Amino acid sequence: MSAWVSVLDAAPATQAPAPDTDKLQQLKAQTHIDKWDASVWRAYVDESMKRADDSGDCNDARQAIEEYVAVFPSVTRIWVEFIAFETRMRAYDKLEALFTRCLRAVVAVPVWEKYLDYIKSVHSNAPVDRKEEARKTILKAFELVLSNVGLDRESGHIWLDYLKYIKNLDGLNSFELQQMMDLQRKVFHKALSIPLTNIEAIWKEYDAFENSLNKLTVPISPISPLPGRTRSAKKLLSERSALYMTARTAYREMKIITAVIDAASKTWMPTPTTWSEADQEVASLRAWKKYISWEKTNPLRLEDPSIVSARVMYAYKSALLMMRFFPELWYDAARYLIELGKLDEAAALLQQAVEALPRSLLLSFALAELEESRKREFSEISKVFDNLLTNLESWVVEVNQKYDAERDTLMALLRGGSDAAASSVVATGNSAEWDGERREEEREKEKERNQEIETKVEVARKRKIGKVKQAWSLVWVVYMRVARRSENVKAARNLFKQAKKSELCTYHVYVASALMEYYSSKDVGIACRIFEAGMKVFAEDNASPEFVLEYLSFLIQMNDENNARALFERALTVLQPEQARDIWSKFLSNEVNHGELANVLKLESRMKEAFSKDVDTPLAVRSMADRWAFLDIDFIGQEELGLSGHSAIARSSKMGGATAVRSGNIDLSSFSRPTNLDPVHSENIVTPELNKWTAYKPEAPDKVTPEKVLPFIPPNEVHKELQQMKQKQPMPQSQVQILQQREQQQQQAKEQEHPSSAPATMLVAECIAQLLDRLPPASSYNGPILPLSDILDGLRRLPLPVPVGQSRMVPISLQDKQIMNPGHSTANVFIQEFDQGGSFRGRGRGRGRFGIAPASKRKGGYGSDEDQRFRKR
| Confidence check: pLDDT of 631 > 80 | yes
| Confidence check: pLDDT of 786 > 80 | no
- Looking at the fold, whether 23 and 138 belong to one and the same domain comes out as no
Reported residue count of the chain is 873
Last residue of a domain, one of 343, 376, 409: 376
- Looking at the fold, whether 198 and 118 belong to one and the same domain comes out as no
CA dihedral 773, 775, 778, 779 (to 10 degrees): 100
* Whole-prediction pTM: 0.68
Q: Label residues 368-407 b or e (16+ Cβ within 10 Å = b).
A: bebbbeeeeeeeebbebbeebbebbeebbeebeeebeeeb
| pLDDT value of position 436 | 64
Rounded to an integer, the average pLDDT of 150-178 is 90
Determine, yes or no, domain membership for 635.
no
Provide φ and ψ at 295, rounded to 5°: -65, -35
Q: Are 82 and 69 in contact (CB under 8 A)?
A: yes
If DSSP states are collapsed to H, E and C, what string results for 542-599?
CCCHHHHHHHHHHHHHCCCHHHHHHHHHHHHHHCCCCCCHHHHHHHHHHHHHHCCHHH
Q: Show Cβ contacts of residue 301 under 8 Å, excluding neighbours closer than 6 positions.
A: 246
| pLDDT value of position 724 | 54
Last residue of a domain, one of 109, 129, 149: 149
- Looking at the fold, whether 767 and 867 belong to one and the same domain comes out as yes
Residue spans of alpha helices (H) in 663-732 = 715-726
- Looking at the fold, whether 847 and 811 belong to one and the same domain comes out as yes
Half-sphere exposure of residue 313: CA atoms within 13 angstroms, side-chain side: 20
* Domain CATH number, residue 598: 1.25.40
DSSP state for residue 853 in the 8-state scheme: P
Question: Mean pLDDT for the chain?
Answer: 76
- Looking at the fold, whether 408 and 333 belong to one and the same domain comes out as no
| pLDDT value of position 607 | 84
| pLDDT value of position 445 | 80
Provide φ and ψ at 841, rounded to 5°: -135, 115
- Looking at the fold, whether 849 and 792 belong to one and the same domain comes out as yes
Q: Are 530 and 514 in contact (CB under 8 A)?
A: yes
Of residues 774 and 868, more confidently modeled: 774
Predicted confidence band at 28 (pLDDT cuts at 50, 70, 90)? confident
Amino acid identity of 656? G
| Confidence check: pLDDT of 714 > 80 | no
| pLDDT value of position 696 | 47
| pLDDT value of position 832 | 38
Number of compact structural domains in the chain:
7
Determine, yes or no, domain membership for 280.
yes
Least confident of 259-273, 425-439, 835-849: 835-849
Determine, yes or no, domain membership for 500.
no
Provide φ and ψ at 812, rounded to 5°: -130, 160
Give which of 153, 256, 135, 245 is closest to 197, Cα–Cα.
Answer: 153
Determine, yes or no, domain membership for 81.
no
Q: Are 810 and 763 in contact (CB under 8 A)?
A: yes
| pLDDT value of position 26 | 86
- Looking at the fold, whether 730 and 866 belong to one and the same domain comes out as yes
Rounded to an integer, the average pLDDT of 331-359 is 94
Residue 11: C-alpha distances to residues 23, 417, 678 (Å): 14, 27, 56
Most confident of 49-53, 503-507, 769-773: 503-507
For 392-430, the pLDDT digits (tens) are: 999 999 888 888 888 888 888 877 655 555 555 555 555
Determine, yes or no, domain membership for 753.
yes
Cα–Cα distance for residue pair 383/366, rounded to 1 Å: 14
Cα–Cα distance for residue pair 115/143, rounded to 1 Å: 12
- Looking at the fold, whether 99 and 237 belong to one and the same domain comes out as no
Provide φ and ψ at 64, rounded to 5°: -65, -45
Share of the chain above pLDDT 70, in %: 69
Q: Are 603 and 588 in contact (CB under 8 A)?
A: yes
Cα R_g (the chain), whole angstroms: 41
- H or E stretch at 239: helix 233-257
Cα–Cα distance for residue pair 768/850, rounded to 1 Å: 14
Longest Cα–Cα distance in the chain: 119
Cα–Cα distance for residue pair 634/651, rounded to 1 Å: 10
- Looking at the fold, whether 171 and 193 belong to one and the same domain comes out as yes
Bridge partners, residue 840, by sequence: 834
Q: Which domain, by its residues, includes 159? A: 151-257
Of residues 517 and 757, more confidently modeled: 517
Q: How many helices (H) and strands (E) does the chain have?
A: 37, 6
- Looking at the fold, whether 403 and 279 belong to one and the same domain comes out as no
| pLDDT value of position 192 | 93
Residue 267: C-alpha distances to residues 78, 184, 721 (Å): 12, 37, 62
Amino acid identity of 537? V
- Looking at the fold, whether 722 and 866 belong to one and the same domain comes out as yes
Last residue of a domain, one of 213, 229, 257: 257
| pLDDT value of position 723 | 52
Half-sphere exposure of residue 852: CA atoms within 13 angstroms, side-chain side: 20
Q: Show Cβ contacts of residue 574 under 8 Å, excluding neighbours closer than 6 positions.
A: 539, 540, 543, 548
Determine, yes or no, domain membership for 408.
yes
Q: Are strands 832-834 and 761-765 parallel, antiparallel or unpaired?
A: unpaired
- Looking at the fold, whether 344 and 383 belong to one and the same domain comes out as no
Determine, yes or no, domain membership for 824.
yes
Rounded to an integer, the average pLDDT of 302-306 is 92
Half-sphere exposure of residue 748: CA atoms within 13 angstroms, side-chain side: 12
